[in-house]
Amino acid sequence: MYSNSVVALDADSGDLRWYFQTSPRDEFDHDSTSEPMIIEEMFNGQMRKMIVQVSRNGHVYALDRMNGDFLYAGEYTRVNWAERDERGKPVLKQELYEPADTMVFPGLYGGKNWPPASYSPDTHMLYIPTTEWGTRFIRRDGEGRPGTMDLGGIPQFDTTGTGWVVAFDMLSGEIAWQKEMPGNFNWAGTLSTGGGLVFSGAPDGHVYAMNDETGEVLWKFQTGSGIYAPPTSFTIDGKQYLGVASGTRNPVTRAGVATGIATGNYILFSL
C-alpha cells in the first residue's frame, strides 16, 4: 500500500500522518529512492512549506509537507510511459500493458537514481543529475523458482543514452536549462552554492562547475577516474573547500574508454 511513496510519520509516536504514492503500479522499477527535499517556495501566489521529490519515474513532485496535499508535478526528463491524472499520479498508457516493443523512458535506472539533487533559493531551481536511458521490458512466461532472483522478464537497454544536469524551475514547473554530460548516465549528484555555482561530476572523470542560471561550464578538472559521488562543500579555518570522491574505473565516454587509471581518491579543492 505504501510502496513507491513519500511517507510522513509523527516523530514522537511513529503514527502515519500522510503518504503520497508516486508510482502506484511500478511496472518499470521506478521505486522511490530519491531524497525528499524540505523547501519553502511560491505556489499560486503563496509561500508554501513543501516536500519536493525528484522521482525516478520522470516527474518532480511538490507536496504540502504539513498535510501531504498535492501541489503540482512536472517532467524533468523524457517520459513516454504514462500520463498524469489531476492528482499528479501517473496513469499507465494502455499500449504499455504489454511493453515488449516499446523503449520506455525513463528506463530501469530511472530518470534520476539515488545520487542527490540540490536546490537554490536564489534561482528557485532544482539541479538534477539525470539519465535519459531507455529500456525495453520483455515479460517472461511462467513462474519464478523459489530461492532464485526473478525479475519477471528481460530488460534490454538503449546503450546510446545520455546523462544530463537539468535545472528545473520551481516557479514555472518546467526545465530552465540542461547540460549534457559525458558518458551514458549521470550518477554524480549535484551541489549548488550561494556563489551562483552548480558542481557535478561525470563518468569521464571531470568535476564541472557551472553557472547556476545558464548552465555554462566555468571550470572543470580531470580527477583520473569516473565520478559517481556528489560533490560536497565545507570550511576549515575560514576557507571554503570542495570535495568529491573519485575512483570507480577509468574515465569513460560514449566513444569508449579514455586514458587514465582508477584512483580511489578523495579530491579536495580550495574555492
Euclidean distance between CA atoms 216 and 172, whole angstroms: 21
Within a 13 Å sphere around the CA of 39, how many CA atoms are in the beta-carbon half? Answer: 23
Euclidean distance between CA atoms 85 and 63, whole angstroms: 15
Rama region for 262: left / alpha / beta (φ>0; ψ in -120 to 50; rest): beta
Query: What SS3 state is found at 199?
Result: strand
203 burial level (CB within 10 Å; 0-12, 13-18, 19+): buried
Catalytic residue among 29, 69, 122, 158: 29
Euclidean distance between CA atoms 24 and 238, whole angstroms: 48
Query: Across-strand partners of 163?
Result: 131, 181
Task: Say which DSSP state 97 is in.
Answer: G
- The yes-or-no answer on residue 29 being catalytic is yes
Residue that has been written with the C-alpha cell 514547473 in this structure? 173
Report, as residue numbers or ranges, the catalytic residues.
Answer: 29
